[in-house]
Amino acid sequence: MTTGAGGEISAFDRFQALWQRCLVEDARDDSSSIHQRLLMAYAEPQRFYHNLTHIDHCLGVFDEVKSLLSNPDAVELAIWTHDVIYQPGARDNEALSVEWYLDIAADVHDSDLVQLVSQHIIATLHDDRPLDAEDSGYLVDIDLSSFAMPWDDFLRDSRNLRRENPQITDQEYYHNQGKFQKLLLSRHRFYHSDYFYQHYEQRARDNLARYFEYIRKALDSP
């Protein structure tokens, strides 16, 4: 998987094709400027995990499952935009990302698509709210798929998430992360969809069990 402005996954050609497929008749194509805005957003200095590498990862996983989706274009648009607004510790990142999408989609995407993408983005709050929109479960699973990466990659992502929150102590950070991760583990299924349950579930649970022990040792060390 390659990353960056010229990467095979997040490169402009892919985004342009997606954007043009979704345009209503006679709508102006601003895909070039929108793609540049996305690249600039995901390159902001406070980002170590919620950056273009994460988007590339999600797009790569999306490609595994897009044939299973009812509206793959809506999910792909949500992948591109779900973290476009990101300030560490803020509770309105997803809501503001929806507003960002609504602004660029005004008058160029039909209302049904706009509503669907917005619902998908809000689903990435991962707060166990009901997932009303079809395919939202897939987007949630895609967003959480990094939990099932090989251990070294999982640990790298975990460290990058920690780097995004330098303003709080290790004790506070790991307490908050532990609450979120234990919420995920308390579900009957970590992943919503059958595909992710079959291919990702056990690896994610194994990684988190190992990570909890890693954190315990880190906090106990002098």
Domain coverage including residue 74: 1-143
Residues 104 and 174 occupy one common structural domain: no
User: Tokens 């476009």 label which residue?
Assistant: 84
Residue 24 DSSP label: P
pLDDT at 199: 98
Taking residues 134-161, report their average pLDDT.
97
Q: Are 138 and 161 part of one and the same domain? A: no
Pair (195, 125) in one structural domain: no
The neighbour count for residue 165, using CB atoms within 10 Å, is 17
pLDDT 10s digits, 103-134: 999 999 999 999 999 999 999 999 878 888 88
Count of domains forming the chain: 2
pLDDT tier at 7 (50, 70, 90 boundaries)? low
Among 95, 111, 143, where does a domain finish?
143
- According to the model, what pLDDT value does residue 9 have? 87
Mean pLDDT of 13-34: 98
Looking at 113, 143, 173, which one is the last position of a domain? 143
pTM of the model: 0.93
118 burial (CB, 10 Å; 0-12 / 13-18 / 19+) is buried
Q: Assess whether 119 and 219 both reside in one domain.
A: no
1/84 same-domain check: yes
Q: Are residues 113 and 163 in the same domain?
A: no
Q: Classify residue 62 by its DSSP letter.
A: H
Query: For residue 146, is pLDDT > 50?
Result: yes
Q: Do residues 98 and 152 both lie within one domain?
A: no
Task: Identify whether residues 11 and 105 lie together within a single domain.
Answer: yes
C-alpha 149/C-alpha 221 separation (Å) is 26
Give residue 2's pLDDT band: very low, low, confident or very high (50, 70, 90): very low
Residues 67-95 pLDDT 10s:
999 999 999 999 999 999 999 989 999 99
Q: Check residue 128 and give its pLDDT.
A: 78
Q: What is the pLDDT of residues 167-180, one digit of tens each?
A: 999 999 998 888 88
Q: Are 100 and 193 part of one and the same domain?
A: no
Beta strands in 5-111, from DSSP E residues, in sequence order: none
Q: Across residues 132-147, what is the average pLDDT? A: 95
Q: Which of 143, 161, 190 is the last residue of a domain?
A: 143
Mean pLDDT of 148-159: 97
Using the predicted structure, report yes or no on whether residue 102 has a pLDDT greater than 70.
Answer: yes
State the pLDDT at residue 101.
98
152 in the same domain as 190: yes
pLDDT tier at 207, thresholds 50, 70, 90: very high
Whole-number pLDDT of residue 130: 84
Considering the domain architecture, whether residues 1 and 55 belong to the same structural domain is answered as yes
Distance CA 17, CA 37 (A): 17
- At residue 222 the predicted structure's pLDDT band, cuts being 50, 70 and 90, is low
Instruction: Say what the pLDDT of residue 133 is.
Output: 86
- Identify the CA nearest to 82 among candidates 43, 38, 133, 132: 38
**Sorting pLDDT into bands at 50, 70 and 90, what band is 215?**
confident
Average per-residue pLDDT for the chain: 93
Both 166 and 118 in a single domain?
Answer: no
